[in-house]
Amino acid sequence: MQPENALPLIIAGPSLRHCDQQHFTLWFVARERLPQLTLSLNNANFKRTLSESEVHVIALGQHAFQYLIRLSQPNLLPINTPLSYQISCAGQPNLFGAITALTYNNKADIEFIVKPTIDHLLHGSCRNPHHHSDDALVAADTKIAQLATLQSRPALLMLSGDQVYVDDIAGPMLFAISKVIALLGLGSEHFEQCHLASSEQINYQPAAMYQRHLNLLPKTQYPARTALKRWYINHPVFTSSMAENHLVSLSELIALYLLTWSPELWKLIEIPQQVYGLNPANELRWQKQWQHLADFQTGLPQVRRLFAHIPTYMIFDDHDVTDDWNLTAKWEQGAYGHPFSKRIIGNALIAYTLFQGLGNAPKIFDAEIKPQLDALFNPPMQITHDALIDTLLKFEHWHYSLDTQPKLMVLDTRTRRWRSESSLGKPSGLMDWEALMEFQTQLVDQPNVIIVSPAPMYGVKLIEIIQKMATFLGASLLVDAENWMAHRGTANTLLSIFQHRKTPDQFVILSGDVHYSFSYDISIRFRNAGPAIYQITCSGIKNQFPEKLLPYLDRFNGWLYGHFSPLNFLTKRKRMSIRGRRPNGAPSQHLVNKSGIGSIKLAKNGAPTKITVLHADMSETEFLPPNNQHQKA
Q: Looking at residue 79, which CATH number applies to its domain?
A: 2.60.40.10
Domain of residue 87, residue span? 4-112
Domain final residue, candidates 77, 112, 147 = 112
81, 112, 143 — which closes off a domain?
Answer: 112
Residue 475 pLDDT level (bands cut at 50, 70, 90): low
How many domains is the chain built from?
A: 2
Question: Is residue 151 a part of any domain in this protein?
Answer: no
Instruction: List, for residues 15-32, the tens digit of each pLDDT value.
Output: 999 999 999 999 999 999
pLDDT (0 to 100) of residue 476: 58
Q: What are 227-259's pLDDT values in tens digits?
A: 555 544 557 788 887 889 999 999 999 999 999
Is the pLDDT score of 38 beyond 70? yes
Asked if residue 50 is part of any domain, the answer here is: yes
- Tell me whether residue 9 is in a domain: yes
Mean pLDDT of 213-219: 89
pLDDT of residue 222: 60
Looking at this protein, which amino acid is placed at residue 140? Answer: A
362 pLDDT tier (thresholds 50, 70, 90): very high
* pLDDT classification of 472: cutoffs 50, 70, 90: low
Average pLDDT over residues 43-56: 91
Look at 179 and 479; give whichever has higher pLDDT. Answer: 179
DSSP 88: E
Mean pLDDT over all residues of the chain?
90
Within 45-162, residue ranges assigned H as helices are 136-145
366 occurs within a structural domain: no
Query: What pLDDT is attached to residue 629?
Result: 38
pLDDT in tens, 277-329: 899 999 999 999 999 999 999 999 999 999 999 999 999 999 999 998 999 99
Last residue within a domain, chosen from 58, 89, 112: 112
Asked if residue 160 is part of any domain, the answer here is no
**What whole-number distance in Å separates Cα of residue 154 and Cα of residue 122?**
7
Contact 56, 68 (CB under 8 A): yes
- In this structure, of 134-138, 158-162, 502-506, the range with the lowest mean pLDDT score is 502-506
Residue 359 covered by a domain: no
Q: What does the pLDDT average to over 384-411?
A: 96
pLDDT of 236: 78
pTM over 0.75: yes
Do the domain assignments include residue 339?
A: no
pLDDT of residue 233: 52
Percent of the chain with pLDDT over 90: 71
pLDDT beyond 90 at 555: no
pLDDT of residue 488: 85
For 479, counting Cβ atoms within 10 Å of its Cβ (0-12 exposed, 13-18 middle, 19+ buried), the class is: middle
Quote the pLDDT of residue 132: 96
Supply φ then ψ for residue 147, to 5 degrees.
-75, 145
Domain membership of residue 415 (yes or no) is yes
Q: Do residues 25 and 362 touch, judged by C-beta distance below 8 A? A: yes
> Which band of pLDDT confidence, cut at 50, 70 and 90, is reported for residue 630?
very low
